[in-house]
Amino acid sequence: MQHINLDTQRLYGVKEAMSKDKPLAIDSTVENSLSKILPHQAILSSYGKGWNEINIEHHSQPTHETPEHFHKQHILVVITKCDKLKVERKLDGKFHCSYMNCGEAFLLPAQVHHRVWIHGEAEYALVALKPALMTRIAEESTSKDSIELVPLHQISDPLIHSLGLALLLELASHEIRNRLYVESAANLLAVHLLQRYSTQKPTTWKHNNGLPKTKLQQIIEYINEHLTDDISLQAMASQIGMSKYHFSRLFKQSTGLTPWQYVSQRRLEIAKQLLAKQELSIAEISNRLGFTNQQQLTTFFRKRMGMAPFVYRQLL
């Protein structure tokens, strides 16, 4: 629900007249950049994790108002916890009011001037996508490189909600080999936003046969050789001379799994094989698989098998 309250608009007009400062530029690649506009620092942040093209922060903020600002990245705010939240905005000179619920989202494209009044406490995931990612996918899926995202004050989208929650879980996890997962999630989110919330919908190219057999074998060999590394989607795609966007789609058509699912499955298979041999301790297995310590292997294994490695070994 959106409306403009005329009394509120007149009040904001007075506030605007009193403040002639230039809008603040917010760069989410800089640590604590949101402290310029928010009362509290993030609970968790992906700053320093080396994640490319996407930054994620977990916030809990009270009632507040921000100065006028714009972001250098595309911003998606996914509400994860709140009572019904009243949100009033001035967006590119226009005023809006909405009442947001848990699970809903707000989309703010890069460079759009914005000011907000939040009435109530809320927790949320703030996802910042670099414009270069969106531009590259737009170029690969259409003949245009200037597709623009549309500012949206209230989005009810199950995929966005689930990706927001998944990224927060990944942000809070102790796994070190999560770059492939995060890059894959960023790629999926960017494609979804362009398909659903842009000025021109990208065209999905159809490839019925997936990757050529030689390229599929080449990438599988590469994965097997680098299972102990924090392998990236970009590195995998570059091995066979493809973009991340097309590689991800063709790989899934060939294997039935996303690159991240395939790599996780292979790591799990090897862990299970080594646990079954009973020759190595769990600490030695974690070292052989490239984990920093036994706890990281335990976290990885429990997430996928529902039990710790030593329990799995006892049940064999």
CA atoms of 90 and 137, how far apart (whole Å): 30
User: Is 205 domain-assigned?
Assistant: no
Provide the pLDDT for residue 114: 92
* 41 and 76 inside one domain: yes
Q: How far apart are CA 59 and CA 225, in angstroms?
A: 38
Indicate whether 272 pLDDT > 70: yes
pTM, rounded to two decimals? 0.78
Q: Tokens representing 6?
A: 């005329």
Dist CA 35 CA 96 (whole Å): 24
* DSSP at 61: E
The number of distinct structural domains making up the chain is 2
Q: Write the pLDDT tens digit of every residue in 104-131.
A: 999 999 999 999 999 999 999 999 999 9
Question: 213 in helix, strand or coil?
Answer: helix
At 84, phi and psi to the nearest 5?
Answer: -55, 120
Domain at 291, CATH number:
1.10.10.60
Rounded CA separation 277/77 (Å): 47
> For the chain, what's the residue count?
316
Question: 64 forms bridges with which residues in the sheet?
Answer: 118
Q: Predicted confidence band at 165 (pLDDT cuts at 50, 70, 90)?
A: very high
**Residue ranges making up the domain that contains 273:** 213-315
When pLDDT is cut at 50, 70 and 90, the band that residue 2 belongs to is very low
- Whether 33 and 123 share a structural domain: yes
Q: Are strands 114-119 and 122-129 parallel, antiparallel or unpaired?
A: unpaired
Q: Tens digits of per-residue pLDDT, 89-108?
A: 998 888 999 999 999 999 99
Same domain, 160 and 257: no
The per-residue pLDDT for range 22-46, each reduced to its tens digit, is 899 999 989 999 999 999 999 999 9
